[in-house]
Amino acid sequence: MKTGSALILLGLFVCPAAVQAQTTNSAPATKEVLVDSHASIRALDVVVNGAKSGTWLLFERDGEMYAPSDAFAEWHVQLPPGVKPIDFKLDGQSYYPLSAVPGYKFKLDAANQSAELLFSPQAFSENRLTQEKSKRPVISPVLPSLFLNYDLNYQTTSQNNLPTAKNLGLLSEIGASNSLGVLTSSQVGQNLTNNPSAGINKSLLRLETTFTRDFPDQNQTLRLGDSSTRAGMWGRSVYFGGIHYGSNFGLTPGFISQPIPMLAGTATAPSTVEMYVNNVLRQVSNVPTGPFAIDDSPLLTGSGDVRIVTRDILGRQTVIEQSFFTTTDLLAARLDDWSVEAGSLRNNLGINSNDYGPVFASGTWRHGYSNDLTLESRAETTPHSRTIGMGMVTTLLMQTLGKASLAFSNGQSQNGDLWLLGMEHQSLHNSAQIQVQGASINFRQLGQDLTTPPVKLQWAGNWSYSTANASSFGIGLATLSRFDNTRVSTLSGNYSTRIGTRSNLTFTASRAINDISGTTLTAFFVMPLDHNRVVSAQASKQDSFVSAMQNPDQENSLGWRVLAGSMQGLAHEEGGVNYPGRYGQLTGDASTSPGQNTLRLGARGGLVLADNSLFATEHVDQSFAVVEVPGYDNIGVGLANTVLTHTDSSGVALVPRLMPYQNNPVRLSADDLPISAELDSIEQYAVPAWRSAVKVVFPVRGGRGALLKIILDDGQAAPAGAVVNIEGDNEEFYVARRGEAFVTGLQSSNHVVLNWNGRQCKFNVTLPAKTEEDIPRIGLLVCKGVTR
């Protein structure tokens, strides 16, 4: 309880001696009040472990100091269990002995009516430096839309003594989105011109047709139609037609499903805490006295070392160093991740449009039992087989992750089993992994041919080390054994080092042994240059070449690449250009080698029909926005500071590349807006659903702006401060010096009103034709009926 009304309440509790002390000794009366000959109440400015904590009423009896319960709460000081208050209450509060707190020290400054309190850091409650969880943004209303993506490719190949082969191919996707979800269907076409020299028949095949509906509030997604199953630890991902329903953490921006390490320390006084992750400063926080913990920090991902530097107000420094390890294979404690699928397995995708096989059902469930242990179970069933399995992922010693799973199958009166064991180690410089998997000859799982036995035993291991100067090397070994007694083993190694400040040189070697033998040696050099250009070279037994390329960017809209050398032992040259424009991407490249020349031309883009407008745009892979700036054409529109397109003659534009379920800053280019344009903001936030459209309207006050020169009936300039407005328009403008007023919202013909000193006059304003300057100066305009 702080001073103020509390001092007034003292009169209700103290004895007459206290009142006498107040009246006869007025100077300290507001600071100390006697309760009896052995006790008093002091109003003191309190400093707790070096931090000012305001003015508090402290009760003193026989040299022992007591503080109200509110003080302990505000100081974040914890009383030991069983401590009882004294038999004195003020304003309903109990008083507790300060000496009961560990490390208690008290120093009174009677002259300044202040006190310094010192407690052990362990006496303070823990302060948790938790990252503030971003609130889920409100999804913008979905604007119904249709979109078409196309990837068109034309290729001609001429070979010695053979006719020129020509082939026109198309990969397309048609989609429709509304508030219910997104329906998409993709197709592939080959030899669309039916050219007999192409070597393939004319065909147009359906690939995938899927309806997708997201449930962001539950982090779940439903798919109807063509999809793929979730593999799990031991399963296989297969294409199917049917239903897929399960969790999808990507629907919540910033959601972290894996456990984040917690870092802890203690501050002996109010301090600044700096967190360095792999020697890079990533976070600075202020903490009060006492223990603190840093948890739920998205900066602590992967593996490495973290250093916490604590500096108190006296400059004293404490350093805590520890390693951390986390992985997406683990789920945070009590978090569930699941999916179910049912339908018919799909065969020959890209070869047949509607080749569906036997029906099936499968399900996968993962549960974060703790931050160190994630459990998994999976089941699959078809008319001919049933498979069930379980697994776990857990942290081991020394930043190591352990995996284990076991599965059993039953089908056609035959039983089989599969097992898997693995370990992964990650640290700042070292990385190692080993995994062993074996199966019995009768084990079968979803997507596996019933007549084909599984792999008998396979294991793979690798180790890599990276140095502080950006060099690294590693080795790997993999072995695969089948039930027909065939065996293949591969030994590989690599070394990479930095040359200069940006260039990199890499050597790789691999050798196959046992039933298949062969050796491959490759050297690869990469040198980045200015202006987004890269030069590279590769040398091996079969391929040796040098290449250069430039990726398109804001400054260079045209990308290119060239290559010269040999491939498969033959001379080879090739080159190409790439132009990513507002309406799509154009590509062209040519290659030549002895006896063969090839030319390829491509066009990739999209069309969108939304809000009764048809837009040509780049490939529609993400969400998009229809932006309207009524009455203003050729206004740059984009995301944040990147201009992606311009408004058309109707003031409308389509902005692609919006991230679903996130705040996307849709912004107008201020340089393109005329000075007369009035709008509240040049930026608005849009939160679209997945691959859906939203509408963003920037309401601009219509009309043009003009500088009006106004005089009154007596010939003098209109006075500064007079108010001008267009008749029928509530917007007000003020006259400046020399009777000039800048007025916006003017049409071709206007009635303008001037108000000054309780009087009013009207005059007509007619705008001239638009000029390049577009800020006409009009006057002299006579405002009759008002004089100075």
Rg (CA), the chain: 38
Each residue of 510-523: pLDDT tens digit?
Answer: 998 877 778 899 99
pLDDT tens for each residue of 651-662:
999 999 999 999
Residue range 374-420, pLDDT digits in tens? 999 999 999 988 999 999 999 988 888 999 999 999 987 789 999 99
Burial class of 217 by CB neighbour count within 10 A (0 to 12, 13 to 18, 19+): exposed
Domain 263-325 has CATH 2.60.40.3110: yes
Burial class (CB in 10 A: 0-12, 13-18, 19+), 358: exposed
- Does pLDDT of 4 surpass 80? no
Q: What tens digit of pLDDT does each residue of 56-102 get?
A: 888 888 888 888 888 888 888 888 888 888 877 777 788 889 988 88
Q: 611-697 falls under which CATH superfamily?
A: Outer membrane usher protein FimD, plug domain (2.60.40.2610)
3-state secondary structure of 728: coil
Strands 740-746 and 733-734 come out as unpaired
**Cα–Cα–Cα angle for 167, 173, 178, rounded to 5 degrees:** 170
Q: Are strands 430-439 and 414-426 parallel, antiparallel or unpaired?
A: antiparallel
Q: State the DSSP code for 256.
A: -
Before 299, cis peptide (omega within 30)?
Answer: no
Residue 720: is it exposed, middle or buried by C-beta count within 10 angstroms (0-12/13-18/19+)? middle
Residue 578 carries which side chain, given as an amino acid letter? N
Please tell me the predicted confidence (pLDDT) of residue 771: 66
* pTM recorded for the entire structure: 0.78
Q: Which DSSP category does 389 fall into?
A: E
Nearest to 441 by CA among 408, 417, 406: 417
Across 222-236, 237-251, 393-407, 703-717, least confident range = 703-717
771-780 pLDDT tens trace: 656 678 888 8
pLDDT of residue 773: 60
At 132, the pLDDT band (50, 70, 90 cuts) reads low
Which of 117-131, 254-268, 328-342, 668-682 is the most confident on average? 328-342
How high is the pLDDT of residue 411? 83
CATH 3.30.1540.20 describes domain 704-783: no
Quote the pLDDT of residue 6: 43
Say what percent of the chain tops pLDDT 70. 93
Buried b (16+ CB within 10 A) or exposed e, 535-570: ebbbbeeeebbebbbbebeeeeeebbbebebebeee
pLDDT band at 740, cuts 50/70/90?
Answer: very high
Mean pLDDT of 2-9: 41
What pLDDT is stored for residue 582 in this prediction?
87
Whole-number Å distance between alpha carbons of 668 and 450? 60
Sheet bearing 636-639, strands edge to edge: 642-646, 636-639, 664-668, 683-686
| Range name among 110-114, 301-305, 719-723, 725-729 with the lowest pLDDT average | 301-305
16 pLDDT tier (thresholds 50, 70, 90): very low
The 10s digit of each residue's pLDDT in 594-647 is 989 999 999 999 999 999 999 999 999 999 999 999 878 899 999 988 899 999
Say what the pLDDT of residue 692 is.
96
5-125 folds as: Ubiquitin-like (UB roll) (3.10.20)
Mean pLDDT along residues 689-716? 88
Give SS3 for 485.
coil
Q: Residue 287: which of 45, 46, 50 has the closest Cα?
A: 50
Is residue 294 pLDDT above 80, yes or no? no
State yes or no: pLDDT of 316 exceeds 50. yes
> What mean pLDDT is predicted for residues 259-286?
80
Return the HEC string of 157-226.
EEECCCCCEEEEEEEEEEEEEECCEEEEEEEEEECCCCCHHHCCCCEEEEEEEEEEEEEHHHCEEEEEEE
Sign of the CA dihedral running 325, 330, 336, 337:
positive
Contact between residue 660 and residue 689 where contact means Cβ atoms under 8 Å apart? yes
d(CA 396, CA 327): 13
5-125 and 611-697: same fold?
no
Q: How many CB atoms lie within 10 A of CB 401?
A: 21
Question: Which residues contact residue 485 at a Cβ distance below 8 angstroms, ignoring those fewer than 6 apart?
Answer: none
Q: What is the pLDDT of residue 273?
A: 86
> pLDDT at residue 710 above 50?
yes
Distance, CA of 604 to CA of 618 (rounded, Å): 7
At 271 the pLDDT is 82
In tens, the pLDDT along 170-218 reads 999 999 999 999 999 999 998 888 888 777 888 899 999 999 999 999 9
Minimal CA–CA distance to 297: which of 286, 283, 278? 283
pLDDT digits (tens, 9 = 90+) for 479-495: 999 998 889 999 999 99
Q: Is the pLDDT of residue 578 over 70?
A: yes
15 token code pair: 């004895």
Residue 708: CA count within 13 A, CB half-sphere:
34
166's tokens? 């020509």
Alpha-carbon distances, residue 711 vs 42, 320, 722, 745, 783 (angstroms): 73, 76, 12, 21, 6
User: What pLDDT is stored for residue 69 in this prediction?
Assistant: 87
Output the furthest CA–CA distance in the chain (Å, rounded).
124
Quickly list DSSP for 489-508.
EEEEEEEEEEETTTEEEEEE
Q: Which pLDDT does position 775 carry in this prediction?
A: 79
- Of 37-46, 150-159, 619-628, least confident by mean pLDDT is 37-46
**Region of poorest pLDDT, from 158-167, 332-341, 612-621:** 158-167
List the domain boundaries for the chain.
5-125, 263-325, 455-516, 611-697, 704-783
In the chain, the percentage of residues whose pLDDT exceeds 90 is: 46
Closest CA to 444 of 236, 230, 233, 227: 236
CA 754, 755, 756, 761: dihedral to nearest 10 degrees? 60
- Give exposure, 380-398, as e/b (b: 16+ Cβ within 10 Å): bbbeebebebbbbbbbeee
Using alpha carbons, select from 34, 124, 115, 133 the residue that is nearest to residue 73. Answer: 124
Token readout for 60 is 């003193």
Average pLDDT over residues 571-590: 93
What is the overall mean pLDDT for the chain? 86
Which pLDDT does position 648 carry in this prediction?
A: 92
The pair of three-digit structure tokens given for residue 435, joined into one six-digit string: 């995994």
